[in-house]
């Protein structure tokens, strides 16, 4: 499968903080940002660089630079915005779009309520953000919308992923690589990741 699961002691340590139900809103939000930054580093491992010449305090030398204008971050509202802070620290000049989807609690299907992205998606690398890849519905729908609007180079970044969501995402969008901090056991009868960390949006924004 086109999935990269990060495996590092520091990530496991950070995940333990996120999973703990007693972790407060401030710390939860900060750790989501930190983990998002780490996942982004891995997602950009194969990034193309422009060769430039700079002058150090010692001499002139060749260096390599990322064209930040080529990147677009698309958080799926609202939980995906919790990942933005960390990614903007990595690529501060990236463009940002938003896709608003919420889950119908009866059908577990995503419902669209907002869509706003840069117009020239075809020439940029588009990175979709959502802390949880659970059923896969929101991620699949978001990627479908982006492809319909010209996006060709896409990646999906999350903190936790369930095997069911990965499988469904790969069935519908096998060309879109998934990067996650960890792959959990399964989904429960309510569509939540087990062991998971609860509702990421509620915990990021302190709404429960």
Which residues are annotated as catalytic?
A: 103, 107, 199, 202
Q: Are the C-beta atoms of 136 and 170 separated by less than 8 Å?
A: no
Q: What are phi and psi of 41, to 5 degrees?
A: -55, -45
d(CA 82, CA 160) in angstroms, rounded, equals: 14
Question: From CA 148, how far away is CA 136, in angstroms rounded?
Answer: 18
Q: Percent helix, strand and coil across the chain, each rounded to 5?
A: 35, 30, 35
Q: Which residues fall within 8 angstroms of residue 119, CB to CB, at 6 or more apart?
A: none
In terms of Cα–Cα distance, which of 25, 5, 14 is closest to 82?
Answer: 25
Residue at token pair 């419902």: 111
Query: Would you say 164 and 190 are in contact if contact means Cβ atoms under 8 Å apart?
Result: no
Three-state DSSP class for residue 140: helix
């Amino acid at each position: 499968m086109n999935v990269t699961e990060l495996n590092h002691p520091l990530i496991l340590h950070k995940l333990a903080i996120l999973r703990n139900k007693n972790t407060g809103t401030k710390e939860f939000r900060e750790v989501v940002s930190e983990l998002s930054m780490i996942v982004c580093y891995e997602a950009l491992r194969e990034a193309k660089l422009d060769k430039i010449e700079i002058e150090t305090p010692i001499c002139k030398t060749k260096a390599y630079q990322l064209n930040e204008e080529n990147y677009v971050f698309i958080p799926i509202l609202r939980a995906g915005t919790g990942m933005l802070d960390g990614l903007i620290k990595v690529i501060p000049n990236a463009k940002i779009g938003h896709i608003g989807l919420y889950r119908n609690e009866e059908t577990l299907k995503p419902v669209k309520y907002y869509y706003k992205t840069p117009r020239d998606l075809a020439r940029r690398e588009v990175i979709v953000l959502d802390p949880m890849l659970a059923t896969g519905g929101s991620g699949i729908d978001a990627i479908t919308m982006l492809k319909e609007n010209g996006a060709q180079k896409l990646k999906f970044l999350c903190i936790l992923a369930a095997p069911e969501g990965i499988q469904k995402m790969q069935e519908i969008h096998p060309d879109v690589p998934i990067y996650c901090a960890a792959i959990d056991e399964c989904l429960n009868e309510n569509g939540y990741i087990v062991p998971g960390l609860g509702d990421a949006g509620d915990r990021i924004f302190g709404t429960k």
